[in-house]
A and B are shown apart, each in its own frame.
Chain A
Amino acid sequence: AQSVTQLGSHVSVSEGALVLLRCNYSSSVPPYLFWYVQYPNQGLQLLLKYTSAATLVKGINGFEAEFKKSETSFHLTKPSAHMSDAAEYFCAVSEGGSQGNLIFGKGTKLSVKP
């Protein structure tokens, strides 16, 4: 069965600094991987997804993630943090292709200091 581990429940960076949110997955089949952002009391917004095409995936708001099969990782990065990036971020893996059930990591809360 698939699983997702997000290292670090809370990450704090200064505005303008690099953002790195870690995600490792476990899957017996080629995975579909996703990063979502959640603002307080709101649903989830898709940042980006990997569906077995290019290993470097670019998403919205300047975020990108690189799929590394050898490391079973799909870390999320952004070169320069903005105050508006402060939110909860979830990594997820699909159990069954592009429309199977999503398995979510426990989330990482990103804080951005002025």
Chain B
Amino acid sequence: GAVVSQHPSWVICKSGTSVKIECRSLDFQATTMFWYRQFPKQSLMLMATSNEGSKATYEQGVEKDKFLINHASLTLSTLTVTSAHPEDSSFYICSGTANYGYTFGSGTRLTVV
């Protein structure tokens, strides 16, 4: 079946630094990639939607200059959290779609100290 590989699975970084999260579709071409954020004991909240080769569409309240999304190819999308702060600590999950429907990555636990 379709697989989305998400890395890293967890990362700890210092305040003010940037962190890049990668999602790769291993055996299919993800025409669309969704990026979600999940706070502890809460549901997934959509941050942005990206289509290959075009700019991402951000949900209301999500800072596009802080959460940089790149979807340069049909198999790779990245989320970069710039100038991270402790309040950015969260669980980030990507989901790629194609003819198979939705396939989720395994998530990235980001802790900013």
**Which A residues are closer than 8 A to B by beta carbons?**
34, 36, 41-46, 49, 90, 98-99, 101-102, 104-107
Contacts and interface: CB of A to CB of B under 8 A. Distances in A.
Given A43-B107, A46-B102, A102-B34, 14 more contacts: A44-B44, A44-B104, A49-B101, A90-B43, A98-B101, A99-B102, A101-B34, A101-B46, A101-B49, A102-B44, A105-B43, A106-B42, A107-B42, A107-B43
Contacts of B106: 42-43
Most chain B Cβ neighbours within 10 Å, of A41, A43, A99, A102: A43
Contact of A99 (B43, B97, B109): B97
B56 interface: no
Given A43-B6, A106-B42, A99 B101 contact: yes
Contact of A44 (B49, B93, B101): B93
A42 B42 CA distance: 14
Interface of B: 6, 9-10, 31-32, 34, 42-44, 46, 49, 91, 93, 95, 97-98, 101-102, 104-107, 109
16 contacts: A34-B102, A41-B10, A42-B106, A42-B107, A43-B6, A44-B93, A45-B104, A90-B44, A98-B101, A99-B101, A101-B34, A101-B46, A102-B46, A102-B95, A102-B102, A104-B44
Contacts of B43: 90, 104-107
Contacts of A41: 9-10, 91, 107, 109
Contacts of B31: 99
A90 B43 CA distance: 8
